[in-house]
Structure 1
Amino acid sequence: MESIAELDESILLSREALGLSPPGHGDYSKILNELSWSLISRYEAQGLIEDLEESIRLGRQALALQRIGYPRRYNPLETLAKSLHFQPEHLDEALQLSRESVSLISPGHDAYCQNMMTLATILLRHHERSGASDKLEEAISVCTEALSSCPPTYFLHPRLLALQVKLAEVQSSSSSTR
């Protein structure tokens, strides 16, 4: 987890890089996506709505620059999905984008575990908002699959384990209220 100072520096450097890159430059979309990711990370740490709104705006711009079929399109899809899932009115779109992102990468890919964790988190949020038990079951399945394909030394492994525990708690509480 990055510190706030590291996030602030990442945001500052990404903004500088954007200023130095014309919109048609090959890395422009990548820089937009990195800035969007840093903003959503800072939003998660500090809760500043401006960071969330800017992350969504930049995420949409980054995705618009990535044509369908581009090999790394999964990146802006995941970043935008992660940003959108914090707003209930965008939860369905976040789920659709996250599913698309996961469909573009294979289990052996270095981004697979992270994208699966994002998908499981969005499914959990969807369940919490709608009460849809199928979304909870899918979240559990996705998290289990992510854990089975993610080595124990992978940096996200502890967060996936924590998500699995949370999903089990939600499932337990959901089944006890029926």
Structure 2
Amino acid sequence: MEESIQLLRKTIELSEDTDSDLPSYLSRLASNLGSRFAILGHIEDLEEGIRLGRQAITTSRISEVQRATLYNKLAALLHQRFVEGGTLFDIDEAIKLTATGVSLASEQDPPRGIYAFELGGHYLEKYARTRDDDVVMDAMRGYKIAIDQPSGQIRQRISASAMAM
């Protein structure tokens, strides 16, 4: 993982701002830092990952499909920070980003089901802290989208069905 992080840092450093692959490099580095945080527990890694995830999204010239993926990756990092003691703002932002990713992805886009499943998970994590019954209903709506996703992975659809029960 360390090699990958260093290689991505160097790649980003050498990339032009107009490089069409820059958002992907930034997002991959952000995800790797989130993974390293999960292993080592250094909050600086998670914070840098969130900052880089935001930077990836604001980089120009990304398609809606790519934007949906970047939103979902940043949302995962915000979810991680929320679980580690972050604020409701973190999970609310994760929910907003993931919901936007679901809406950007077409019904023929297989990741749409994954995004919807993750959306349900974000809502359930929020419910665990707030005990707001309306949040559970929002989670069920996310899982329903995942279940109904025609191009979704069977395993994802089965998991969404189990969560919705």
When normalised by structure 1's length, the TM-score is 0.73
Query: Do structure 1's residue 98 and structure 2's residue 89 form an aligned pair?
Result: no
Distance 1:124 1:45 in 2: 24
Query: Do structure 1's residue 124 and structure 2's residue 124 form an aligned pair?
Result: yes
CA contact (8 A) 2:120 2:139 kept: yes
Higher relative contact order (CA 8 A, sep 6+): 2
TM-superposed CA distance for 1:78, in Å, is: 1.4
1:16 aligned to 6, 10, 22, which one?
10
CA contact (8 A) 2:26 2:56 kept: yes
CA contact (8 A) 2:106 2:112 kept: yes
Q: Tell me the percent identity.
A: 31
CA contact (8 A) 1:117 1:160 kept: no
Match for 2:136: what amino acid? Answer: L
- Structure with the higher helix share, 1 or 2: 2
Q: Which runs of 5+ in 1 are unaligned?
A: 1-6, 169-178
Match for 1:128: what amino acid? Answer: A
Distance 1:66 1:118 in 2: 26
Match for 1:129: what amino acid? Answer: R
What do you get for the CA RMSD once the two structures are aligned? 2.7
1:78 aligned to 72, 81, 87, which one?
72
Query: Do structure 1's residue 37 and structure 2's residue 31 form an aligned pair?
Result: yes
Note the 1:1-178 alignment, pairs <5 A.
7-66=1-60, 70-85=64-79, 86-87=81-82, 88-89=86-87, 90-149=90-149, 150-152=152-154, 157=155, 161=159, 165=162, 168=165
When normalised by structure 2's length, the TM-score is 0.78
Structure 1 pair 42–137 and aligned structure 2 pair: CA distance change class (3 A): farther
CA contact (8 A) 1:43 1:51 kept: yes
Distance 1:17 1:71 in 2: 23
Distance 2:26 2:48 in 1: 11
Match for 2:19: what amino acid? Answer: H
- Number of residue pairs matched by the alignment: 157
